[in-house]
Amino acid sequence: MEKGTNFLYSVKYQQNTQKRASHMSNLNTELMTALLKNESIDEVFRSHLEAAMNDLLKIELTQFLGYEKSSILGYNTGNSRNGFYERDLDTSYGRLHIKVPRDRNGHFEQQLIPDYARRTDELETTIITLYKKGITTREISDLIEKIYGHHYSPATMFNISKAVADQVENFHKRQLSERYAVIFMDATYLNVRRDSVAKEPLHMLLGITPDGTREVLDYALYPTETAANYEEMMESIKKRGVKQVLLFASDGLAGMRDAVKRQFPEAEHQQCWVHLSRTVARYIRNKDRKEVLGDLKSVYRASYEDEAGKALAEFLSKYGKRYPKLAGIFERVKESLYSFYKFPEVIRKSIYTTNMIERSNKGLKHKSTVKEQFPNEDSLDRFVCCYFVPILSGCNVASVKPPPKYYNCLKIGFKPPINKM
């Protein structure tokens, strides 16, 4: 009996394989016909999807019962097929008419379509995904109407859009921690349309907590990058709860140290040595560049601050006469050259540059390349927030935590707990 059963299933498997091959051949033929006639291919996909889902439901019931329709194996099993009931399912290709089979005993529960589902995906997920791409409300409305037709009212669309917009707003207003070991400041340029399309700097603040958690504190779009913009953002994070920061790290933008000292007088400021090296390279001939920049590394890779000072003096003594503008470069930022030496050696390499925030910005910029330009500032705001904050999971802080031992040493630099007013 077992051999007979296996033989019947083998024959049926071959028949199903041939049937699927025939379906694919028919699909290809119909697609080619539609394309040649310049007709929509949505109906072709819709009809084949409908047929495939109905076939899958029949297969599900067959597997549940353990025998094919009209097979002698079904005699005296105590259960059998009992017709079907109809359901409609909305998809991006149109409405499918589904026939869900039933068994006589009423025990069969199909797994292909979720109970009570009337569409293949949730509108909320679709809208949030579109927001994540930086698509405008008007564009979303047009897409939803095209995909779902009359099944969703404008009121539903508005309410869901507003829910996402509220989460973006909450990100900018959320309460922050009182203490941060380091805050990195940098900007990345993205295409934004106002009256015309132009690259504008998206300013970013990336904080490191005493336990080593990386957190995007805030971001803001300005027409140009200035220290005043960052100072405005620092003032904002103070209002949201930040009371103490040990170190701010930034590139060579003029006025950054003064902006930091006005908002956080006790904080240190570190000039990024990578940006400083790039500035030096601009004043060096190509044939000397490798040697000069190689010698410059001996300054910020020294073990102690005094050693670094001596290395810089030797560097300027060696190259200062040949390139007299070098002295002025270091003189302008002398108060921000060696701040990283006040921190434990294990973390110095990660704080004498702004590489950490630049990696985050690079990832954001890479994601934004799928959209050539943002139609307005709100569109960019949603895109950035959805990139850094997984709002679908309910998380309200964009953070990544490295191994705790890496930053635990920063705790020694903090004062006793601050008394709340």
pLDDT band at 203 (very low <50, low <70, confident <90, very high): very high
- pLDDT, the chain, mean: 76
Q: Pick from 91, 92, 87: which is nearest to 116 by CA?
A: 87
Q: What is the pLDDT of residue 3?
A: 44
259 to each of 177, 226, 248, how far by Cα in Å? Answer: 21, 10, 10
Q: How much of the chain, in percent, has pLDDT values that exceed 90? A: 33
Residue 384 CA: distances (Å) to CA of 172, 204, 365: 12, 11, 10
pLDDT at 67: 83
**Rounded to an integer, what distance in angstroms lies between the CA atom of residue 53 and that of residue 287?**
69
Question: Would you place residue 147 in the very low, low, confident or very high pLDDT band (cuts 50, 70, 90)?
Answer: low
Residue 18 pLDDT greater than 70, yes or no: no
Residue type, 164: V
Indicate the range of 100-114, 197-211, 253-267 predicted with least confidence: 100-114
Confidence tier at 290 by pLDDT (50, 70, 90): very high
Q: Hey, what are 374's tokens? A: 């943002």
Residue 136 pLDDT more than 80? no
Q: Using the structure block, give the residue that is written with the tokens 């300005």.
A: 222
Q: Residue 396: what pLDDT?
A: 38
- The model's pTM is 0.62
Q: pLDDT per residue over 233-286, tens digit each?
A: 999 999 999 999 999 999 989 999 999 999 999 999 999 999 999 999 999 999
Dist. CA 72–CA 74, nearest whole Å = 5
**Is residue 20 pLDDT above 50, yes or no?**
no
Sign of CA dihedral 23, 27, 28, 29: positive
* Closest alpha carbon to 248 in 235, 237, 261, 236: 261
Q: Give the percent of the chain with pLDDT over 70.
A: 65
* pLDDT exceeds cutoff 80 at 64: yes
Report residue 110's pLDDT band, with 50, 70 and 90 as the boundaries: confident
Residue 319 banded pLDDT, cuts 50, 70, 90? very high
151-186 pLDDT, tens digit each: 444 555 555 556 667 777 888 899 999 999 999 999
Question: Rounded to whole angstroms, what are the CA distances from 3 to 7, 68, 73, 420?
Answer: 6, 16, 13, 80
pLDDT of residue 365: 75
* Distance from chain centroid for Cα 64: 42
Residue with the bigger pLDDT between 255 and 76: it is: 255
